Structure 1
């Protein structure tokens, strides 16, 4: 398990490109033979990824960093298939087939979790600490709560699919969904916002290898950018905005952990105030 320590907004103006990427960008997250994990001290989020090929399932083990007997002993998790083929997640002997963009919530106390795939299944995991157990639940795009935002003339027409939140799949503190941009749109989450009580992570996917997303971060008056490739994640501290634009069509998984699960708990950052 890799570790990312918490940072303050005062540090960002002194970071060059290499330092920004080292603190906030997560690359190489989907190996075939193990679950790669990253622990963030911002709200103690853990993200992980695996692209299991044909053969034995890949097990979600508890890294030494967690000081736990098993990964979900004191945690909950959301799993999203960001690949192009179905795959199977087995939770304590029960199999769940995840088609692309399907989400599986796994509650605290699940002891054995494995991932299997025979094509381009790629499982992305986001985990937060949990104080109670909620039922393990599978949902497809048709089961989510869709919200249409933006418009074509501002290049940000998009559909937000809310899966894990206070009016959907119940959790302790995890909030998670998938956003799809309409053809011809490139901006996500604009106007931007912050939410001081929750850390958010973006995982971009669906990008061709030669294309990128330019992700904006930092305080609204001290913005910086990260150039992000397919299946790479950005850790966004509570004080940072999180938005971006792509050179081609894409989707992304947004996931939050913190003080509450209210999707609308945000502080807007109007476009004309950004610097």
Structure 2
């Protein structure tokens, strides 16, 4: 497990491109038959993936970073499958995971295993975890059971559908909220007008990009922004004081996950467009 430490606002302003990427960009996800993870001091999130291609993968705790006997001893996890059909086994209970299905894994779950139905066409599980103070039941949320919200417009190049999977309206969690945003063809902007939310942090994972395409992801103070070039199946960490928005070379999708003080999806500190610099 890789450990990341985030800078404060003053330190952030002095960082080079490489330093920004090393602090906030996660490039090492979706490696076949491995479970790469990044532990961040930003709300103690853990971001990772599992691509079981011919073998069963197990989510295990890192005792050095987590001081736990098993991963969910004091944590909850949100998982979303962006690959082919697979399965997740929680303490012997089996959940069939189709493309764009999600699974909430509650605190206290001792065994988490990932499998693919076809090793040549594996499932691609992406997950984000936050500390949990209480045990809530694990729950499978199928794509058709998510809340689907249509936002934006073609005129502003941000017509998109937000699929909300893990929110209080669907199931109880300690702090985790998670969903998927898909942009319409021809639309390239996400989360614009931009916002921050001082009460929680967020992780974005971009996908559905070709090898030559990328997203210019904006981070930092709204009046002194920086950017990261993010490619397919890479994730970016966002602090509570940083805006998070992006513009791609083509339409794309991204998974968002949040943790912090509350779970109200619309609790955002909006930034007037004229104030961005």
Q: Give the TM interval when normalised to the shorter protein.
A: over 0.9
Counterpart position of 2:185: 183
Q: Are positions 1:71 and 2:71 aligned together?
A: yes
The Cα shift of 1:6 comes to: 2.8
Q: Which residues of structure 1 form unaligned runs of 5+?
A: none
Q: Which residue of 1 aligns with 2:35?
A: 35
TM-score under structure 1 normalisation? 0.97
Q: Deviations over 1:44-79 (max 9, x none)?
A: 11111121102x310001012100010000000000
Contact 1:166–1:263 at 8 Å: present in 2 too? no
Alignment of 1:214-229 (within 5 A): 214-229=216-231
Q: What displacement does 1:240 show?
A: 0.4
Given that 2:191 and 2:244 are in contact with CA atoms closer than 8 Å, whether structure 1 keeps it comes out as: yes
**Deviations 1:167-226 (CA, angstroms, capped at 9, x unpaired):** 122200001000010111110111110011101000001111111111111110011111
Deviations 1:123-148 (A, max 9, x none): 11100000111111111221111111
Q: Name the CA distance, whole Å, in 1 between partners of 2:213 and 2:186.
A: 15
* Structure 1: distance between partners of 2:211 and 2:97: 24
Aligned to 2:195: 193
Q: Secondary structure at the match of 1:211?
A: coil
Runs of 4+ in 1 over 3 A off after TM superposition: none
In the alignment, which of 258, 261, 276 is matched to residue 274 of structure 1? 276
Question: What's the CA shift string for 1:76-132, capped at 9, x where partnerless?
Answer: 00001122x111111111111111111100000000001111213211110000011
Q: How many residues align?
A: 273
The equivalent of 1:230 in structure 2 is 232
Counterpart for residue 255 of structure 2: 253
Residue 155 of structure 1 is matched in structure 2 by 157
1:98 corresponding residue in structure 2 = 97
Distance 2:194 2:214 in 1: 19
Contact 2:194 2:245 in 1 (8 A): yes
For the aligned residues, what is the CA RMSD?
A: 1.0
- Is 42-51 or 66-75 further displaced after alignment? 42-51
User: How do 1:154-173 residues align onto structure 2 when only pairs under 5 Å count?
Assistant: 154-173=156-175
CA contact (8 A) 2:6 2:24 kept: no
Residue of structure 1 equivalent to 2:204: 202
